A = this chain, B = another copy of it.
Amino acid sequence: MRSVNSLRLKDLGEREIIRKLLELIPEPKLTRSNRIDDAVLLKDFDLVVSCDAVCDITDKLPGMKWADLGWKLGVMCVSDVASKGACPLGTLISLNAPSELEMEVVEEFYEGLVEASREYGFEIWGGDLGEAPRFLASLFMLGKVKRRFISRRGAREGDLVLVTGKFGLTGAAYHLLLRGGQAPSEHVRNTIVQAAYRPRARLREGVILSEIDGVSSSIDSSDGLAESLYQLCDVNQIGIVLERVPIAQEAIEYAEYNGIEPLELALYGGEEYEIVFTVRRSSLDEVLDRLLSIGCRAEVIGTVIKERGLFLKVEDQVQPIERRGWEHYSRSRNRNKYLGANLCTW
């Protein structure tokens, strides 16, 4: 008999739910670091596996096409795999939809997924099709480790913290599309909306990072830059001091036009698929050069310190960065900062 006061998922938040579920699950022997990394390494095969899901209610932004949603699901999985230094091989898709849904919708969704499969070189092997009250697709991806698996674990004091790109566009897009924000120009509007509709994964970058021994840990920024950095701090029992946060020019323009802090968009936007990684100082030049050779201007954003926590250094003042990321089922509903009621009506 359940008690009247049973805890609901929203009372716990994603991290606590996962912690409780992990208590029920026997420790696997075939994998490494499955409890800390988004993609799981199968030791005997040098393969990684990962899964992600999209639901029309929670993930389909206003104006987003079904093909965009299919593309994005592919990118979400590729990013998980790439940030571990692996290349995607193929996928299975579990597609669940109402029987009233138009076939064209499903076809458009698949067209987007197929586009992503061409862009990132993975195959679509098959899947499962079933009825459900809303559109919900889960993608399972298998990837091959190129040279070595890069875990989230491995950062240590003195390492440098880097990112593969600039932040803030997706946060701006969520504000624009869900909170009634205004874009200062067509160019800004197009840039930020496109970043949210058609995000890109850093596949070639991840493969290069796996080839450089001095890369000590890696995570993708899908939960938001601040939350991703906090996760690196937790796993490695370290702290990070940021000296700068690279923000996309269009996000800055959008933020200023709408009276928002650009830093807010960059730290907490989420759904951005950059790689956030740490590097031994001696490997910095090699990392920057190798990434530049494929057109990626990676930037040093901070340093790993011994003291736990995430901090921002501004003109010799060090201040803590609040932890509020993209956590499903969060009681505080911080995740809905940029999500309007139209995406969370249930």
The answer to whether A6 has its CB under 8 Å from any CB of chain B is yes
- Closest chain B residue, CB of each to CB of A14: B129
Proximity string of chain A (100-114) to chain B, C-beta cutoff 8 Å, 1 when within and 0 when not: 111110110011001
Contact of A28 among B8, B45, B50, B125 (CB under 8 A): B125
- A89-97, A197-205, A313-321: which lies at the B interface? A89-97
Whole-angstrom CA separation of A98 from B136 in the bound complex: 13
Number of copies: 2
For the complex, give the distance between the alpha carbons of A110 and B18 in Å: 11
- Cβ of A294 within 8 Å of any chain B Cβ, yes or no, is no
CA gap between A281 and B131 in the complex, in Å:
40
Question: Which B residue sits closest to A3, measured CB to CB?
Answer: B104
Nearest chain B residue, comparing its CB with the CB of A12: B103
Q: Is the CB of B133 within 8 A of A30?
A: no
Contact A131 B30 (CB under 8 A): no
Q: Given A21-B107, A58-B132, A134-B132: A102 and B7 within 8 A (CB)?
A: yes
Query: In the complex, what distance in Å separates the CA atom of A2 from the CA atom of B124?
Result: 26
Contact B128 A94 (CB under 8 A): no
Number of interface residues of A (CB under 8 A): 75
Distance (Å) between the CB of A326 and the closest chain B CB?
11
By the criterion CB–CB under 8 Å, are A26 and B106 in contact? no
Query: Restricting to A203-244, which residues have a CB under 8 Å from any CB of B?
Result: none
Q: What sequence of 0s and 1s flags, for each residue 113-127 of chain A, a beta carbon within 8 Å of any chain B beta carbon?
A: 010011000011111
Tell me whether A8 and B103 are in contact in the complex, defined as CB-CB below 8 angstroms, given that A24-B110, A49-B142, A123-B28 are known contacts.
yes
Whether the Cβ atoms of A125 and B34 lie closer than 8 Å is yes
How many Å lie between the Cα of A125 and that of B39 in the bound state?
Answer: 10
A26 and B99 contacting across the interface, CB-CB below 8 Å: no
Does A9 make an interface contact (CB < 8 A)?
Answer: yes
Chain B residue contacts of A25, Cβ below 8 A: 110, 114, 124
A90-B28, A328-B131 in contact; A100/B53 too (CB < 8 A)?
no
User: Quick check: is A288 within 8 A (CB to CB) of the other chain?
Assistant: no
Give 18 pairs: A residue, B residue, CB < 8 Å, sorted on A. A2-B104, A8-B102, A9-B101, A11-B103, A20-B107, A21-B110, A28-B123, A31-B123, A31-B125, A35-B126, A42-B89, A45-B47, A49-B142, A53-B94, A53-B96, A96-B136, A131-B346, A132-B134
Please give 16 more A-B residue pairs, beta carbons under 8 A apart, in addition to A8-B101, A25-B124, A53-B96.
A20-B103, A30-B89, A40-B125, A42-B89, A42-B142, A49-B142, A50-B92, A51-B127, A52-B94, A57-B133, A96-B136, A98-B346, A99-B329, A129-B329, A132-B134, A133-B346
Q: Which of A's residues lie within 8 Å of B, judged by CB? A: 2, 6-12, 14, 17-18, 20-21, 24-26, 28-31, 34-35, 40, 42, 45, 47, 49-53, 55, 57-58, 89-90, 92-94, 96-104, 106-107, 110-111, 114, 117-118, 123-134, 136, 138, 140, 142, 328-329, 344, 346
